[in-house]
């Protein structure tokens, strides 16, 4: 904006009205640049959050036996153990980091704490 104002000033002297217009245009450009910078920062922040919230691995599907109506806890735990072994194999190949293992271990602990097993005994 300053370069345009200087170019116009070289050809003809600027009147007060022209200087006011240049100043207002410069202020508006500054405001818009500020808005763009804030919006870009917010976009970057949200993209980082999306990147963190995406699962980094696919969950192992629990396949129930065809003769059972529901998957049992044993089947679920076996599938989780198999998924852990597969994950350990892939992380050992890539030089697994402790920071990557911690969320998976916490998820397994949380899942085990939510599993409740009821045993019903007949009344005699």
Q: Please, where are the H alpha helices in the chain?
A: 2-11, 16-53, 73-93, 98-114
DSSP single-letter state for residue 62: P
Work out the average pLDDT over 61-68. Answer: 67
Q: What is the average pLDDT value for the chain, to the nearest integer?
A: 75
- Phi then psi for 121, rounded to 5 degrees? -110, 140
pLDDT score of 74: 78
pLDDT score of 4: 72
- Phi then psi for 53, rounded to 5 degrees? -85, -15
Tell me if residue 68 falls in helix, strand or coil: coil
The more confident residue out of 89 and 108 is 89
**Domain assignments of the chain as residue spans, ordered by start:** 2-53, 73-114
Tokens of 43: 């976009």
Instruction: Give Cβ neighbours of residue 5 (< 8 Å, ≥ 6 apart).
Output: 14, 19, 22
pLDDT at 9 over 60: yes
C-beta separation of 98 from 106 below 8 A: no
pLDDT score of 80: 83
pLDDT at 13 over 90: no
pLDDT score of 43: 92
């Amino acid at each position: 904006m300053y370069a345009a104002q200087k170019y116009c000033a070289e050809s003809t002297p600027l009147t007060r009205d022209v200087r006011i217009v240049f100043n207002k245009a410069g202020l508006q450009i500054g405001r818009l640049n500020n808005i763009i910078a804030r919006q870009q920062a917010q976009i970057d922040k949200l993209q980082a959050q999306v990147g963190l919230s995406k699962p980094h691995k696919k969950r192992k599907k629990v396949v129930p036996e065809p003769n059972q109506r529901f998957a049992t806890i044993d089947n679920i735990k076996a599938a989780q153990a198999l998924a852990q072994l597969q994950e350990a194999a892939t992380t050992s190949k890539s030089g697994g980091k402790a920071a990557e293992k911690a969320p998976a271990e916490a998820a397994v602990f949380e899942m085990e704490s939510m599993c409740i097993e009821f045993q019903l005994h007949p009344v005699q």
